[in-house]
Amino acid sequence: MRFSEFQPRHVLCLLGRQGRFFELCRLIQSAIDNFAPGFEIDTKFSQEAPDDRMAVSFDVSWDRVHEGARTEKDEEAVLEHGCVIYVLGPHMDAENAVETSANALRLIVHALDNGATAAKGESAGVAHGAARWKQLGRDAEHHKEGVALARLCRLAFSRRPLSDGEFLCSVGFHLIGLPEVFVPRSLSDDELVLSSIIDSIAEEIFTEGVEMVLARHGAMLLPIDEYDEHDFKYNPYGAIYLSPGIKLDSQIN
C-alpha cells in the first residue's frame, strides 16, 4: 500500500580532498557507467571547494546505534574536506528499491576506496565512518539478494531512533520499499532497545508483509505528515505505529 505516487530516490553526498574534485567526478562517473544505471552526478550543487555547512551536517547525521560507526579520523576528514560531490539516484518503486540501494552502497564504497574521504546518505540524513561504509559494502557483496541484502541497505541508509513526541521512529525505510516504524517511548527508557524494536519490525515487514505485521501487533498504518511530499525523506508507504502493549524479544543490529 502507498499513500502517494512519489517515488523515492537516493541523494549521496561524497567529500574529497582539495584538488581532487575533477578526478573524483571522473571516477564516480566511471562507476555509474559500470554498475549503477540511472545514477548521475548533480552538477548544480557539487562544488570544487569546501562547504562550511558540512561539519554541522555530518555531526547531526552520524549513526549513533552501531558502536564505532565513526572515528576521530572520520570527523577530521569532514572538517578538512576540500570538495563536495552529490550523486542522485533514479526514482524507485518498492520492487527495485533494494537493488538500487545496493548500487548506491557500492558507489559509496567505490568512491571511498578511490579517494573520497567521507560519505552521507542525504535521503535519510545518515552518515557512517569510512570503515563502517566499507564493512556494509563487503557484507552486501556476500548477500546479493533477499532479506540479508535488504537489511544491510536498511542499516546503511536509514536513521533510527528519531524523536516524534511520544514515539521514537525511523526515517529512510522508503529506500528499501518499506513504511517507517514508530514505537511508543513508554516501551523502554533505553533508546537502543527502542531502536532494536524498530529494526525487528522492519525485518518482519520485509519477510511477511505489512498486513501480517499490523494484525500480529495490533498496529496502525498511517500516512507520513512529517515531511513534504517532495522531500527526499518523505515515505510514500506511510508508517506503522505500534501500540504500547507490544511485546518483542529483539536483538540490537
Tens digits of residue pLDDT in 85-142: 999 999 999 999 999 999 999 999 999 999 999 999 999 999 999 999 999 999 999 9
Find where cell 516504524 sits: 181
Residue 74 has pLDDT above 90, yes or no: yes
Per-residue model confidence (pLDDT) at position 205: 97
Per-residue model confidence (pLDDT) at position 249: 52
Per-residue model confidence (pLDDT) at position 250: 43
Residue 248 has pLDDT above 70, yes or no: no
| Alpha carbons 197 and 183: distance in angstroms, whole number | 8
| Alpha carbons 97 and 84: distance in angstroms, whole number | 25
Residue 166 has pLDDT above 50, yes or no: yes
| Alpha carbons 151 and 158: distance in angstroms, whole number | 10
pTM beyond 0.85: the answer is yes
Per-residue model confidence (pLDDT) at position 145: 78
How is 51-109 classified by DSSP, letter by letter?
A: -TTHHHHHHTTB--SSTTS--HHHHHHHHT--EEEEEEPPP--TTTHHHHHHHHHHHHH
Residue 125's H or E segment, with its range, is: none
| Alpha carbons 70 and 35: distance in angstroms, whole number | 27
Mean pLDDT of the chain: 94
| Alpha carbons 53 and 120: distance in angstroms, whole number | 13
Q: For residue 8, give the C-alpha cell.
A: 523515492
Which residue type occupies 4? S
At residue 247 the predicted structure's pLDDT band, cuts being 50, 70 and 90, is low
Residue 253 has pLDDT above 80, yes or no: no
For 167-188, the pLDDT digits (tens) are 999 999 999 999 999 999 999 9
Residue 251 has pLDDT above 60, yes or no: no
In a 13 Å sphere around the CA of 226, the CA atoms on its Cβ side amount to 20
Q: For residue 29, give the C-alpha cell.
A: 562517473
For 204-239, the pLDDT digits (tens) are 999 999 999 999 999 999 999 889 988 999 999 999
